[in-house]
Every structure is written in C-alpha cells, then in structure tokens.
A and B are shown apart, each in its own frame.
Chain A
C-alpha cells in the first residue's frame, strides 16, 4: 500500500514538474482566463443594471469562470503531455515496472488536480487584489478549492481518456474547442433566469458546466447556497466518475500488458 502511494506521488510530482518547466503551459492557463475576465468584466459591467442581476460587480459575477476555464486549460495541456508519453514509448517504460495500471492513472490525475489548485489560489488572489470579497468568507475559499479539485478531476479524467484512447496529442488538443463550446453555451456571462433566448436558456440548463460555474459563483457573490453547491458537486462528481471509468477502461486497453 505504501509503495502504491509513493508511486502515485512520484507520478503526480512528474506531472507537476513537467508543467512547471514549460513556461507556456504555466503562463497561458494563468493569464488567458484573467485576460478574458478583464475583457468581460469591463465590457459587461453595464449588465449589472439589468433588473434582477444578482450583484453590482460584474467582476465578482464573472470571477467564477476562470476557475472552470483554468482547470480546463491546465488539464488539456497536461493530457497532451500524457498522449506524448504514449507516442514516445514512455508509457511502455512505466508499464515494464511493477507499478499497477490504476496507479499510473491516479498519479497523472493527482498531478493535474494539484496544478488546478495552484491556479485556483492564483485566481482568488487576483480577485482579492481587484476588490472581490467572497460572500462565503474564508470557509468559502476552502470550499471553493475543494470544488476546484473535483472540477479538475472531471476534466482531467476526460482528457486522460482521450489521451489513452487515441495516443494522439492532436486529438487531445482537439478537445479544447469542444469543452470551450460547453463553457460558452452556459450561464458564464448571464444568470440563467436572465437569458432572453429560450433555446439558449434551455441549453444552459442542460449543460453541466452551468452548474460548475454557478456553484463557484454562489460562493463568491451569495454566500452558502447549498443547493447550488450540491448541484455543482454533483455535476463535477458525475463528470469525474464518467471520466475515470472511461479512462480506466482505455488504460486497460492501451497497456495490453499481461
């Protein structure tokens, strides 16, 4: 059992170190969401004048988005590296050791969740620096980090599934626009009850990403909204479970080892 934990930690450590040593993979997931936040919060501030808008700061409203976007970017990047491991034969190198298959996957996922948490702390600090105060307080910050871990696990597991299934860096990179579409067709820029177009409101309602964003947002602007949190954790949890099952199956098929 101890050895399995050490192996998991070593593999997770490698995932973090590899990301840290590629400046583009560090800077982009930190900077790009902040850039979009700046653009959107500046450009849509006037939306807070709409009757029923839940806050008078669009920055506070939109701060939830980087947590989801950043988790997506970081896990896509790291899973591209995972696909590269398959292409270069590094996965075979690991497969030739006594390490169990599930440990290979857990190590990769653990590393990605660590990266997502580090990013989340960065977003919280930036938000605080620009005057955003969490309505849920310090406890809310910890809850937010926990939620971020589960969100990152969901995206990471789905990305790992793509990497293991295809062994192709291009295929994993191709996931980004797909996830991006889900993010945009959500309540990221407007509360669901204020979305005017019926079809868009319907899409945002069935889109699990809306619940991720709304859960994080509730901690920022509302306080302790247990319903929103429950829905957010449920959506992230469902993504994680589905992603984990898919990636575990894909790992089993990919390894083929006896």
Chain B
C-alpha cells in the first residue's frame, strides 16, 4: 500500500507540475469551460422564456450545472491524452520499470485528473457567482452536486485511461473524446428533458448522463430529484470504467 501511494504521489506530482507550469495545458482547460458557460448563458438565456421552462433559479444556474459536469468529464479525458503521450514518448515504459506496484501509476493519473478538475471547477464557480448565479440549494445539496461531478471526473479519467493503455498512441484521442462528447451533448443541455421532442427526447431519456444532469440541477435549485439514481449511475460508471482501466493497464504491461 505504501509503495502504491508513493508511486501515485510521484506520477501525480509530475502531471500536475506540467499542468500548472505549462500555459499550453492550463489555459485551454480553464478557457473552454468558461467559454461554453459564457456562450450558452449569454446567447441562449432567452430560452428560459419558452413556455414550460420552469427552472426556479434561472438559466445561469441551469447551464452552470452542465458546464460543471462537462468540465469534470473532460478533465478526466485530458488525463487520458497525457497517458497516451507518455506511451508514445517511451516515458510510460520508464514508469512501469520503476514502479514496484503499477496500480500506483493509474492511481497517480486519477489523482491528477481530480486536482485538474478541482482547479477548473473553482474558477468556473467563481465566475458563475460573479455572474450573479442564483443558488437555491443548501450546503448538503451543493456537496451532492460536486460529488456527482467528481464521479463523472473519475469515470471520464478511467474511460480515457483504459483507451490510452490499450491503444498507446495519441491518435486514440478521438476515441477517448468522442463518446464522452456525444454522451454529454445527447443529454438535456439547453432545456429540461420535458421540453425535448422527437428523437432527441428518446436518446436523452436513456442517456445515463441525463439523471446526473437533472439531479445536479435539482441540487442547485434546492429541489433535489433523481439523486439516488444519479449517484447509482455515477458510482456504476466509475466502477465499470475502473475495471476497464485496470484491464487496460494489464494489457499494457503484457505488451511490454
């Protein structure tokens, strides 16, 4: 256990050091969520006047939840990019040779994904508050919201790590990114589920991200709903992709 944690500490230190000292990594991670938040809230706020759009705390809070979850998922995916880059450069081989317990490597990347997202989430939250976002939920509700985001961050990182460890090339980036992108955007991004019509309603209804999104919006408006389902899905995704990632690590070990 001590070895595993030591390896994890080393790996995460390196990734975070690169992240915080390299503007090419740090700035896009911060800029994109802020940009989406600004564009959606600024450009689409009129949507809240559509008959049937009943969200008590306003469109800013409505979109904030989506951007928070999106940033969590993509912070996880970007960690996968880093893993793929390390494979291509040969650095992963060095890590695997040095680490007494290789699970520590995966743990290290996961920890760095979490810290990356926490950084982004802090900035996005501050900006949303400055934009006078209304919060209807209490402290427990907000903990629930950020926990959901954390689960999504973990799931995203484990998914991307599993892909990166199997394919071991940066050309796998679209494979890591696209499914996450599709899952996020085939959810009720702009309006609640009840206002979607046609095929998109059908897809969003079965999309596992939808309950997380709706529950998150429930937390921020102080009217929690689907919380149990959302946490079950969140944990399920994290667990399932955890198995996926560990098996990916084993396949990378076997490949040498």
Contacts and interface: CB of A to CB of B under 8 A. Distances in A.
A and B directly contacting (CB within 8 A): yes
Interface of A: 24, 35-36, 38-40, 42-47, 49-50, 177, 181, 184-185, 189-190, 194-197, 199-200, 203-204
B50 A43 contact: no
B interface, size bucket: 35 or more
Contact of B35 (A43, A46, A184, A196): A184
Contacts of B142: none
A211 to B, nearest CB: 16
A46 B50 contact: yes
Interface string B189-205: 11100011111110100
B256 interface: no
Interface string B33-62: 001101101111111011111000000000
A28 to B, nearest CB: 8
Contacts of A24: 174
B67 to A, nearest CB: 13
Given A39-B186, A42-B200, A197 B45 contact: yes
A201 B51 CA distance: 23
Contacts of A181: 35
Contacts of A47: 44, 46-47, 50, 190
Given A43-B189, A43-B191, A46-B197, A177 B28 contact: yes
A42 B199 contact: yes
Nearest to B49: A50
Interface residues of B: mostly helix, strand, loop or mixed? Answer: helix
7 contacts: A42-B200, A42-B203, A43-B185, A44-B44, A44-B190, A44-B191, A185-B43
Interface in B162-201: 174, 182, 185-186, 188-191, 195-201
Nearest to A47: B47
B190 A43 contact: yes
A190 B44 contact: yes
Q: Interface centre among B32, B38, B174, B203, by most A CB within 10 Å? A: B38
A195 to B, nearest CB: 6
A84 to B, nearest CB: 16
Contacts of A184: 35-36, 39, 43
A185 B35 CA distance: 9
Given A44-B190, A45-B197, A196 B51 contact: no
B43 A46 contact: no
Contacts of A46: 47, 50, 52-53, 191, 195-197
Contact of A195 (B43, B182, B199, B200): B43
Q: Interface centre among A35, A49, A185, A196, by most B CB within 10 Å? A: A196
